[in-house]
Chain A
Amino acid sequence: MADPFADAKVIFTLPWNSEVISAVAFIGNDKVAAANKRGDILIWNLPPAGGKTPDPVRRLVGHTGEINRLLVTPDGKTLISASNDRTVKYWDALSDAGTPGTIVLNDGTPLKGVVEKVDKLPALPPPVEAKVIVQKPIKELAGHKEWIQALAVSWNGKRLVSGDDQGAIIVWDLPAGKELLRWPCKNWVRSLAIAPEGKTVAASQHVPGRDKIVVPPSFHLWNLETGEMKVDLTKEVTGGMSAIAYSPDGKWLATGRGNIEVERPDSRVTLLDPSTGKKIRELTPGHSRGVTDIAFHPDGKHIFSAGRDQLVKVWQLADGKLVRDLGKFAERGYWITSIAISPDGRCLAAADDSTRQVVIYALTGR
């Protein structure tokens, strides 16, 4: 099979050296949003390939803790963020209205790798500022009492599901922002995905730690409408999952193994049958130190995975073959924390933690 991504290349690097960039999302095909551990969200308008590297144009303020997830509603109108500040916030994804302001893009200090004896923060370089429109959230969901690390939206845009470190999973009426249902789990909820049929939510739970008696990772399929457990897949896919995704056609359920705090050499993406939960295949060779994120390509034939080895891997769904790696392999200390694919499938955004920048790839001839 021909490699449709043979000509994939970096077209922009968007520097943002303030804090670890923790999440990225596309708004349409020509806007990208990124969030960091400080609680900031920036939005860039992407010019055609070959254009000048853009500065951010919008800054979304309101979160006071690390942002763990960013996603966009299927209609492309609303950006939704989940944070350690215990809130989910809605943002107008398209509006340019707001207050003029500035953002310093390099007021952080990236300390690469294991720095045993850092006793001072290095002096900061001269500030690099960008003029932005500062915007506030249009809605805030405050039902969680702990860090919200998992968030998923239904394919019809009617339901939102969020999960926190207290083990609470909450189903929301997405347009209304109203809580419909919640149920407790035993562990921290780390990743969620809603099936295209809209009635099932997959949830991965695990707590940092090596005491397996206390914190065995688990993976379940739940009934989105009742909160009842449908299938326990804990034995089918062992370990903690940092990412879960359903393919748009509903044929695949994918998990990315990456107990976030335990860097493992054999971290793999696993493809499951969504109806039975049975394992179909594991994609090998896996990332060297944990999967951080996964995303299905809109072509329905490929899945992308990001890892703690600074790579984005492109896999073929039909046979599990590794198509190619994007990026430069790094054994330790360099992560791609999050990825997103544009709705038209032509661009990939990757949050590169080691360089503190959002890397934009043209996948198929943008």
Chain B
Amino acid sequence: MRPGLFAAAVAAVCALCGFAAAPSTAADFPNPLPVETIPRVLGLPATYPKSWAFVNSVSSLELIDTAATAPDRVRGQIGVAPFPNLIPSTRRPEVYVAETFYSRGTRGTRTDVVTIYDTRTLAPTGEIVLTGPHRYLSGPQPNAFQLTGDEAFALVFAFTPAGSVKVLDLANRKILSEVPIPGCALIYPTGEHGFSTLCGSGTMLTVQLDATGKVTGQSETATFNDLADDPLFSLPARIGGVSYFTSFKGGVQPIDLSGTAPKLLPRWSLVTAEEAKANWRPSGWQQAAGGPDGRLYVIMQPGGHEGTHKDGGPEVWVFNPATHAKVATIKLKTQARSIAVADGAAPALLAAGAPADSPLDLRLDVYDPSTGALTNSTPLNGQGGAPILFPAGR
């Protein structure tokens, strides 16, 4: 289009819109735009706002501002290979990612590595190459990669399918030991320097480590996990030193993991007899979360039955774990499969899921737990499935 015709067209459109066409010239702007710097890369604050969260999907890791609207929600990403596991430090400006690479893309030499990223730049600052049995690969599974209570060690679950745990020294960036956990799976930090793991026999095995990563003690609980009929979900909600494991049929098994050995606290139920009759059950992937308000948040599903335990649900029930009372019911606009609770002036419930009639439209919704009101909703483009949410603000 010739310039004259273009100007006429713009003027016509603007006239239709009710705006007067006012072509500007250099005379209207005496100073040109300043020359910009190349290259330029943004940094991030040393302390993230409370509304920020890492989103760990099966194939990506993103830092999202849950209070922002699209397209401004993404604050950065961490480059990773498929099946990453992320864990942020609460003491250092670092985030750790367990990754797996092949020298020829999908074939060749496999390298497992834990990469250290600086939270102020999201750039890698170091790595620990993992030797020995391969790390466990699955959908995002936070309990396959954890930090000890004192955050001196990173713990990586390996699976061949024999189970073991690699103990990594984060300060010196090296592997200290490989602890076999035959018949057991996943990692639940216990005390300052140990971990527990759930076993196929329905018990919990606990291992304590010394400063060099050597095993100093080991204990195993009695059987408490009915893996056949009413198993505990693998992802607990942690509140203080207590991890709350919900069960497929609506039970809660609190376990105090603050000491050197786990304490099984009295089991209780999320559901009344009437709710149990209607088969209200926990469901989802990151199906339970602990809040900074000390509350237990659980995704609940009505009409649950065998084979629906990871579908997610339309409501989040909020419990006082001390009294076992349900203190709130949050009806979700979009069914959720993963939840987390971010701290702030008031806690915010983060819920990831997609509408039943539009399963590709994965969203991250934010609710005010005190009112149940939806306060923000941001799309999670290209992440689908059920991510793990890590509130990242401090």
- Please determine whether chains A and B interact with each other in the same assembly: no
Question: Which A residues form the contact surface with B (CB < 8 A)?
Answer: none
B-side interface residues toward A, CB under 8 Å?
none
